[in-house]
Amino acid sequence: MNTSYQNFLKKLKWTDTLSLTFDLDSQEFKDRLRSHLDPYGPQGMFEVFSSSPNDYVGKIKGDELLMRRKRKMFDWTMGSVLVRGKITENRDQVNLNASIEFPSWVPGMVLGFFGLIYGMAFVLLLTGVIPNEVPWLGPFMVLHFVVLFSVFYFILRKGISSAKWHFERDIRHFLA
């Protein structure tokens, strides 16, 4: 993703960063974390029925970390939030610098959906295909857009903050 789009998502609070430090060596950190991860793969909708006790799906490749919480029934956002991180070692400490974000298609889909639907409606309203005999239709559409967009906005925003809290709590628990 380009930086202007990332900055836009950061302003919307649809992405966040996290920096953690642990008193372990790099290999021990990776081994402990791997023991709590199921392999990252195309499990799709059947992931909900997994019998594994692990709550996270992911992979550690070299110094790169990619993981997400397992999908669960009726959990809207937690299974979609990705944690991408870089593991670095400083003397006897391991630093994890991670970004917490949705896959790139999620914010684009939300913004694209609202732009397409409401853009078409306003074009139809302005061109006269939808009659202007109802004077409150334009303001109603603006109000409708604001209400519906704010619902999705707060769902995605809460998903990122909740995922950050869960990830930080769980990783400290894994490494204790």
| Segment 105-120, tens digit of pLDDT | 787 888 888 888 888 8
By percentage, how much of the chain surpasses pLDDT 70?
93
Task: Please count the structural domains in the chain.
Answer: 1
- pLDDT of the residue at 43: 63
Residue 102 has pLDDT above 70, yes or no: yes
Residue 76 pLDDT grade (very low, low, confident, very high; cuts 50, 70, 90): low
Residue 55: its pLDDT value, please?
82
CATH number at residue 82: 3.30.310
Our CA dihedral for 167, 23, 37, 158, rounded to 10 degrees, sits at 10
- The pLDDT, as a whole number, for residue 159 is 86
Distances (CA, A) of 55 to 41, 47, 72, 175: 15, 11, 10, 15
Identify whether 133 is part of a domain.
Answer: no
Domain span at 160 = 3-105+151-174
Which residue, among 84, 62, 74, has the nearest Cα to 15 in the 3D structure? 84
In a domain, 33, yes or no: yes
Task: For residue 117, tell me if it sits in a domain.
Answer: no
Cα separation of 92 and 120, whole Å? 58
Do the Cβ atoms of 14 and 101 come closer than 8 Å?
yes
Asked if the structure places residue 121 within a domain, the reply is: no
What pLDDT does residue 45 have? 66
- Choose among 49, 29, 153: nearest CA to 96: 29
Give the list of residues 6+ apart from residue 44 with CB closer than 8 angstroms, or none. Answer: none
CA distance 104 to 13: 14
Q: What is the mean pLDDT of residues 77-105?
A: 86
pTM: 0.78
Position 144 in a domain: no
Q: Does residue 142 fall inside a structural domain?
A: no
